[in-house]
Structure 1
Amino acid sequence: MPAVPPSRVKPALRLRVVLSEKVAIGPGKADLLEAIRAEGSIAAAGRRLRMSYQRAHDLVAALNADFREPLIETSTGGARGGGARLSPAGEAVLDTFRAIEAEAAAAVEPRLEWLRDTLAP
Structure 2
Amino acid sequence: MPSPASLKIKIQIMCGSEIAMGPGKADLLDAIRETGSISAAGRALGMSYRRTWLLVDAMNRCWRERLVVAVPGGGRDKGAHVTTAGEAVLAAYRAIQAAAAGAAQPGAEQSLLPLLRDEPLSPDP
Sequence identity percentage? 45
Displacement of 1:79 after TM fit?
8.8
Higher share of residues assigned helix: 1
What SS does the corresponding residue of 1:109 show, helix, strand or coil?
Answer: coil
Aligned position for 1:91: 87
Aligned position for 1:115: 112
What are the Cα deviations for residues 64-86 of structure 1, in whole angstroms up to 9, with x where unaligned?
Answer: 12111110011111499721110
Question: Which ranges of 4 or more aligned residues in structure 1 deviate by more than 4 Å?
Answer: 117-121
Aligned position for 2:100: 104
Higher RCO (CA 8 Å, separation ≥ 6 residues) = 1
Q: 1:18 to 1:65 in 2, by over 3 A?
A: closer
Q: Of 39, 55, 74, which aligns to 2:70?
A: 74
Contact 2:32 2:80 in 1 (8 A): yes
What SS does the corresponding residue of 2:112 show, helix, strand or coil?
Answer: helix
Distance 1:113 1:80 in 2: 54
Distance 2:31 2:95 in 1: 17
Structure 1's unaligned 5+ residue stretches are none
What are the Cα deviations for residues 26-48 of structure 1, in whole angstroms up to 9, with x where unaligned?
Answer: 11111111110111100100101
- Number of matched residues? 117
